[in-house]
Amino acid sequence: MNWKVKALLQKNLSTTKLGDNLNHIPATLNKKYNYNVTLYQVHECIRKFNYSNINLSLNKTALEIGTGYSLISAITLSLLGFEKIITVDVTKDIRFSTLKKQIKYLSNSEIFQLISSKSIYKKHEITTKINKLQKINSLDSLFKLLNIKYLAPYSFDEIIQNSKMFDYVSSQVVLEHIPPKTLNELFQFTKQILRKDHFCIHTINFIDHFANPGFFQDKSISEFNFLKYSDQYWNFWAGNSIAYTNRLSYIFYLELCKKYNLNVINFIGENYRVRKELNSELIHNDIIKKYNSVINIEDLTKYQRGTLIITNT
Ligand SMILES: C[S@@+](CC[C@H](N)C(=O)[O-])C[C@H]1O[C@@H](n2cnc3c(N)ncnc32)[C@H](O)[C@@H]1O
């Protein structure tokens, strides 16, 4: 289906109060949705955590940027051994009914094994914690039990009111939804709140989300199709709260690390799906202008996804 069909639908939905929730419904219709989300969130949370060298035996505080529709990532951080977790989003999308369904899967052997392999707690201690979690009757009781603070919407000041410094900062497919100006503020804030030599790990998806699998997928386009358009044209189609992606490559994030003196330990670029190459001559000048440094145009389509691992020097 032509990507503009989905773009128009999202643009219209974004003008309604429940637009983002309605846009999310098709994904939840899959029978295995809650199991898949739980496995994915636990897996990705631990994959990122593995790149850090944090000693969880001391009281540690984590910050998650972009909670989304699931609290499983924040819960996983707690089950690993973080003493306090602050999870923030621009919109409040967590539902207790969904959370209950996902918590059930924490006892699944594959998921439990993933957590216990990296946790500071013994297996029977994790089991006790999960049993308690499965009995909670409200979001507030979960937050109290695991010392999780959910700020949505949030401001940087509110984060600081809850913790001045963090031992670990992470995000999962969130940064691509943040405009360049806010990203600039976020990296500056990271420099301020990340404890010295501690880790901040972001997984970023760089592709045109209209090429994502699903009923509305446009199979005819390159996964970097969106780089062909001017800012004005792209804003018309996708400059709304549901569809917005910043169209930035990993180079932009490396530039921000340099600007704020954050030490890049590694950037792990990946191509996780079949590539449909975009002729780099088609890349619009508005895209090239987003970078401060002189860029190699091939770098803009080099990776579909990547994990940025940084420390505060
Ligand atoms: C694709 S979802 C990912 C959510 C979750 N991390 C996950 O893995 O399912 C992107 C999320 O980023 C959030 N987001 C967008 N801009 C943000 C910002 N400036 N700060 C924090 N979160 C933001 C959106 O509201 C949305 O929940």
86-102 pLDDT, tens digit per residue, is 999 999 999 999 999 99
What mean pLDDT, rounded, does the chain reach? 95
Q: How far apart are CA 72 and CA 16, in angstroms?
A: 28
Residue 233 CA, ligand 1 centroid: distance in Å: 24
Instruction: State residue 216's pLDDT score.
Output: 81
Residues with a CB atom less than 6 Å from ligand 1: 65-66, 68, 70, 88-91, 93, 172-174, 177-178, 182
Is residue 289 very low, low, confident or very high in pLDDT (cuts 50, 70, 90)?
Answer: very high
Nearest ligand 1 atom to the CA of 68 is 27
Question: Looking at this protein, which amino acid is placed at residue 112?
Answer: F
Interval 179-192: pLDDT, tens: 999 999 999 999 99
Per the listing, tokens 């989905």 go with: 6
Instruction: State residue 25's pLDDT score.
Output: 72
Per the listing, tokens 């309605």 go with: 22
Q: Is the confidence at residue 120, as pLDDT, over 90? A: yes
How many CA atoms are closer than 13 Å to the CA of 176, on its beta-carbon side?
22
Residue with the smallest CA separation from ligand 1 atom 8 is 172
Residue 93 CA, ligand 1 centroid: distance in Å: 10
Neighbours of 261 (CB within 10 A): 9
Q: Are 137 and 167 in contact (CB under 8 A)?
A: no
Q: Is the confidence at residue 20, as pLDDT, over 80? A: no
Residue 92 CA, ligand 1 centroid: distance in Å: 10
Token digits of residue 99: 């959370």
Q: The whole model's pTM is what? A: 0.95
Phi-psi category of 118—alpha, beta or left, where left has phi over 0 and alpha has psi -120 to 50? alpha
Instruction: State residue 215's pLDDT score.
Output: 78
Instruction: State residue 149's pLDDT score.
Output: 98
Q: Are 85 and 74 in contact (CB under 8 A)?
A: yes
Interval 214-246: pLDDT, tens: 878 888 999 999 999 999 999 999 999 899 999
Q: What's the rounded mean pLDDT across residues 22-50? A: 89
Residue 115 CA, ligand 1 centroid: distance in Å: 23
Q: How far apart are CA 178 and CA 254, in angstroms?
A: 16
Ligand 1 pocket mutation, candidates 89, 102, 150, 176, criterion most atoms within 8 A of CB: 89
Interval 105-117: pLDDT, tens: 999 999 999 999 9
The separation between CA 257 and the C-alpha centre of its own chain, rounded to angstroms, equals 18
Instruction: State residue 19's pLDDT score.
Output: 64
Domain architecture of the chain: domains with CATH: 3-312 (3.40.50.150)
Residue 279 CA, ligand 1 centroid: distance in Å: 30
